[in-house]
Structure 1
Amino acid sequence: MRDQGDEKGFGDYSSGDHPSIAEILRYKSGDDALRMVLYRMWFHAQDLFKQRFGDGDTVNILMAIGMGRIAGSPVDISSIANITGISRPTVRRRLTALEEEGLVVIERVGNRTIVVSRPEGVAGTQDLARRWAGLVKQAAREIEKLESRT
């Protein structure tokens, strides 16, 4: 079975007949330059966040909490786990560490454990958000240049 739009059929390995690495490296997609810009932006953004928070799971947890804050609806541990794909025990451990750092408040409400960002924690990440926005803007400029060439 071939992938849609894949003229070489590299998506079908069920027959055991695999293309060589050299063949795969010669394969070019019309959006390779765009993909490269996006990949670079993604890795730079990950580095930026890991420098501040140490690991990707903590970053994803904080983003889920931030989404709740911006939407005006606090999130609970289960919804953070669902949004991020991180197990609830891991979410709970990371949240405890974030609470000790003063970045979040954890509160038991009925049968839910609600988590919200502390205003000081949000304020402390404003520079990080600006730097991330800068990476996105840079990627947008590079994409605009690519599109103007075509």
Structure 2
Amino acid sequence: MSDDDNAPESAARKNGKSTAGRTAAGQFTKGNAGRRRGSRNKVTALAEQLIGDQAEKLIRKALEIGLSGSPTVLVALLRTIAPPAKERAAPMRFRLPPLVTAADAVAAIAAVADGVAKGRLDADEARVLVTMIEAFVKAKNVLDLEDRVTKLEEAAG
């Protein structure tokens, strides 16, 4: 009995035989991992073949249309050629209390809350700081557990 026989009626593929190598539920059969790594999508390959040597002319024409008054074409070109820069945070001018022990995180989070309340931090900056404080606490807890386990192992033997 094959996997196709076990597939529920609702999972039956509507394109049937055109999905060779798949079960009725659409999953790849054993030994069939799908498209090989690095293989091109047929539509992409066809588009590249059709465009061929005309790519530079097409870009120049689109740029000409965009510069002559079509902002939609111009925006599409700019997004393709020069995608928006990643947002870079400006350095924060906010002083956290020193973080040495996990217990110090309570004072640090209180300082962040106070900074938000007094308008010295916005919500996004506060979120970044709290995430950093949480990461410190997790790392500190792991380190403390590692030290405790090491001491127990040394004491045991």
TM-score, normalized by length of structure 1?
0.26
Rg (Cα) greater in structure = 2
Structure number with greater CO (CA < 8 Å, separation at least 6) is: 1
